[in-house]
Structure formats: C-alpha cells, structure tokens
Amino acid sequence: MDIGYILLFLFLLFEMALSLVLAIIIEVIFVHFYERLTIKSDLVLVMLINVVTNPIVVTIANSFVLSTNISKWWVQLPLEAIVVIVEWRFYKNYVTRIKRPLKCSVLANGISYFLPMLVAFIISSSFGATTVFANPIMVTTDPFLRNHQDECIFSGDTYSANGEGGQLKLYQSPETPWVVDSIPNGTDFLIHMTYESHGIIWGNVIGEYQGWVNLSWQKLKYSKDMFLNDHKDNYTNYNGEINGYETKSKIVLWTFPHSSDYQVYTDTKEINRYVSRINNNKDTYVFIDEEGNKWVASPEDLRWIYVSDPENTDLANIRYFDRVLFENEQTPPRISWDYIGFMLVVSFITSSIGVHYIKTKVNIHAQQNIQ
C-alpha cells in the first residue's frame, strides 16, 4: 500500500478519535452547566451517546468528502441534524433529569460542531495565512511553509489543474488533508515552493488560488526557462538577423518559438526599442527550429521574434515546444473503499460497545430509581 494512503488512514483515525474526545468534553461540560446536571450516571449517559453517534458520523462524512466532489457542508449538516434528533430522543427517554432535551441537544451539538472551527480560525488568523508577493522572491506567512522553509525548494513553475471530479483540491498543508480551496480542471496555477514528504512532491499554490497540492497527477506546462535550458547548446551567434527591420503595423513577441502564448505590439516606439535592444546586445539568442526558420530573443526578457515574418501570429505548433510535460491522463485515486469499509466496521463496533454500556447504565439507573 502507498505510504501516502497509510498516512492519510492514520490521520483520519486520529481525527475520528480527536473528534470523539472533543465532542464528549464539550457536550458533557455544556449539559452539566446548562441543565445543572450533577449526577454522574446521567453525565456518563451523555458521554456514551456521543460514543454511539460521533464515530460513525465522522466516518460517513470523511468517506463522502474524500471519495466524491460533494461539498462537506452538504454532507456534514444533514448528518448533524440526524445526530441532534437521535440525542434529543435519547435525552428525553433515558436522561429524564434533562428538562429541555430538544434545546439541549441542538445547543450541545451546535457548540461542539462550531467551537473547534472557531478556535482553528482564530489560531490560523493569529499566525497568518496571507501570501505576500515580492518580486522576484515571494515571501509567505503560510504557517507550514514558514516552519519548513529549510526543507522547501523554490519552483516558480506553472501547472495545469488535473483533479478528480472536474476540480483540483488544495489542502491546508502536506500534513493536514483539510481542503481549503479548489481549482477548476484546465486552469493554470503557479507553484511557489515545493516540499517532499514520503516520496510525494507537494506544491505551494499562490495567486488567485492558495493552498498545497499533490503534484503527482498535475500537468507541468512548458515555460520559456525550460525552453532556454533545453536548447542551451543549440543557439547560434547573432549576425544582425533583424538589423534594419522596418516597423509595419505590429510585431509579435513569443514566449518561446511556436508557443501558443504571444504578445502583439503596435506602438512604433516600443517596437523600435525592443528591436534596438536585440541589435545592440552581443548575447542575443538565435534559435533555428526544425524547419530551418530563425528566431531571435533579447537575453533580458527572452521574448522571441520570428525573423522571416515578425507580424505572423499563426505559428503556434504543438509539435514543437508548447506541450504539457509529464502528461498523465490519470486522475488522483479516490479514497479506498477498503478504508471506508474498515472505518464503518470500527464505527459499528464502537457504537455497539456504546449501546451495550448505555443499556447497562440505563438498567442500573432504573434500579436505583426503583430503590
């Protein structure tokens, strides 16, 4: 089994246990003060009903969120509503000292659901999660990036989103699989830094979308820097290929030869300035493509001019360099059904134990009342 799945599985187990512990602590404390419930057997019953409801709800919610493209709110809120109803009926029938069972159930579950989220938001806001741009180095206050800066490597590469269900999910960090954003498939996004964890390369996404993404299934787009590096031994000396060029109506500057990305300039002064920069620089790049056509570019900003026809915009050719590297038509695998089945079994066993103890406590409680 892939180490990534093992880590995710262990994390989700930990999340389920943590969720259960927090729910028990918050709801028991709330019921104790709200209903002035002091009898230990009643508080134990409040604890046990959480043992029954919490694990299976967390498992179902995680299974749906991780295996489908359904928003977590559409999954969690209906489940929380069911929990509220179950606990309300339980309080009404078995914890008779609770005078307002429905209101108590609604408030207890609402607090246990939203309080941890509020605390996490406050902590995140305190440490900061805003990316600050400083050209050419990009400085970020991302907590994970800040704490692992010595282990991260600058990237600056552009990728094309390739996610499950039409969207690429972005996570809070490589170590916490909480979805914080999503990018529509086919959308370009910029990677600031990369981080390797257990053989998996994660990228820190900046710009319009922000978060961390597993780069294993993403499409790295070819860039002008890649082109320059790939052909560093194939350039020839500049011999005035565009010397004496007379500006017409426009000039086309390409990201790299035969790219689909280009800019059209129509301002005569700007065109002459760029052409002059090429003519006056002894390090100007000259590239000859597979058909023998020459391209020139200033080393200062690496925008290419097609020598034979500088105004032609119909030169994009996928056969050349404007390709997607590491093309991978696979999409990230969904969470394993083995995991879902195992977690449901664990939840069922946990719930069964909880039900058994509840029945035991209820019987003891009933006998005490009779006496």
Are 97 and 147 in a shared domain? Answer: no
Are 349 and 295 in a shared domain? Answer: no
Residue 50: both structure tokens together: 């959480």
Contact between 274 and 334 under an 8 Å Cβ cutoff? The reply is no
Are 176 and 109 in a shared domain? Answer: no
Residue among 50, 74, 76, 51 at smallest CA distance from 61? 76
Q: Which of 170, 202, 218 is the last residue of a domain?
A: 218
DSSP state at residue 333 = P
The reply to whether 17 falls in a domain is yes
So what's the pLDDT on residue 218?
78
Report the CATH number that the domain containing residue 148 is assigned in CATH. Answer: 2.30.30
Are 209 and 238 in a shared domain? Answer: no
The reply to whether 125 falls in a domain is no
The reply to whether 208 falls in a domain is yes
Pairing relationship of beta strands 158-160 and 188-197 according to DSSP bridges: antiparallel
Enumerate residues 6+ apart whose C-beta is below 8 A from 37. Answer: 31, 43, 46, 95, 97, 98
Distance CA 273, CA 265 (A): 11
Are 17 and 82 in a shared domain? Answer: yes
Q: Which of 201, 218, 235 is the last residue of a domain?
A: 218
> CA-based angle 167:170:173, to the nearest 5?
160
> pLDDT tens, position by position, for the chain (371 residues)?
445 456 656 766 777 788 888 888 999 899 889 888 888 878 888 888 888 788 778 777 776 665 555 566 677 788 888 889 988 988 888 887 888 989 999 999 889 888 877 776 665 455 444 333 333 333 455 778 878 878 888 777 888 888 877 888 888 888 776 788 889 988 888 888 889 887 788 999 988 888 898 887 777 777 777 788 888 777 888 888 888 777 677 888 888 888 777 888 888 888 888 888 888 888 888 888 878 889 888 887 778 888 888 888 887 664 444 444 443 434 444 444 555 566 566 656 665 665 566 656 555 555 555 45
Q: Which of 188, 218, 248 is the last residue of a domain?
A: 218
Strand partners, 168: 183
Q: Which amino acid is at 51?
A: V
**Secondary structure of residue 234 in the 3-state scheme:** coil
The reply to whether 124 falls in a domain is no
The H or E element that residue 263 is part of is strand 262-265
Are 46 and 74 in a shared domain? Answer: yes
Q: Which amino acid is at 295?
A: W
So what's the pLDDT on residue 322?
42
Are 17 and 113 in a shared domain? Answer: yes
The reply to whether 61 falls in a domain is yes
Are 12 and 110 in a shared domain? Answer: yes
Are 179 and 249 in a shared domain? Answer: no
The reply to whether 328 falls in a domain is no
| pTM, to two decimals | 0.46
The reply to whether 58 falls in a domain is yes
The reply to whether 211 falls in a domain is yes
Are 171 and 247 in a shared domain? Answer: no
Residue 204: both structure tokens together: 């820190």
Specify the number of domains making up the chain: 3
The domain in which residue 113 lies consists of: 3-118+335-370
The H or E element that residue 287 is part of is strand 285-288
So what's the pLDDT on residue 324?
42
Distance CA 232, CA 283 (A): 13
